[in-house]
Amino acid sequence: LSSVLQGNGRVILIADDSGLQRLVLSRRLQRLGFTVVTATEGGDALERMAAQPPDAVITDMQMEPVGGLELCRRLKADPRLAHIPVIITSVSDPRSENAALAHDAGAADYAVRTADLEPVLVALSRALP
């Protein structure tokens, strides 16, 4: 499914406190033709979105001070941003309670982070309009 994913200049905001994860995911998305904006935690992400609303958000779950779940809740509570799909990711198993927490927070999807990024890209292709 992700093999047909094309960015066509659409903007993805990546929120992750790991420099390595930001690097790996942003390079992959850029090669697919997306424009990438990065943030190191949820508060930072919301500030960047105010300046330029992205087409989708991919966020890590565990970040300080504002984590992925809280980022998603705040985004969904803001009428200007509520339409933006959010994909929450973590390295945990997809069947764990994290998936349920993500959906409760209003996320479009939950995806486990693997080395090949496939689950994240599949979730993104489903979530994008």
3-state secondary structure of 56: strand
CB of 106 to other proteins, least distance (A): 28
Q: Which is nearer to other proteins, 79 or 116 (CB)?
A: 116
Q: Which tokens in the block code for residue 64?
A: 């300080």
Task: Tally Cβ neighbours within 10 Å of residue 104.
Answer: 12
Can you give the binding site for other proteins, defined by CB under 8 A?
Answer: 18-20, 22-24, 26-28, 31, 91, 114-117
CB of 104 to other proteins, least distance (A): 27
Q: Which is nearer to other proteins, 28 or 76 (CB)?
A: 28
Q: Which is nearer to other proteins, 31 or 95 (CB)?
A: 31
Instruction: Yes or no: say if 22 and 14 are a contact pair by the CB < 8 Å rule.
Output: yes
CB of 23 to other proteins, least distance (A): 5
Task: Give the phi and the psi of residue 18 in degrees, each rounded to 5.
Answer: -95, 120
CB of 32 to other proteins, least distance (A): 9
Distance separating alpha carbons of residues 104 and 45, to the nearest angstrom? 20
Q: Which tokens in the block code for residue 63?
A: 């970040």
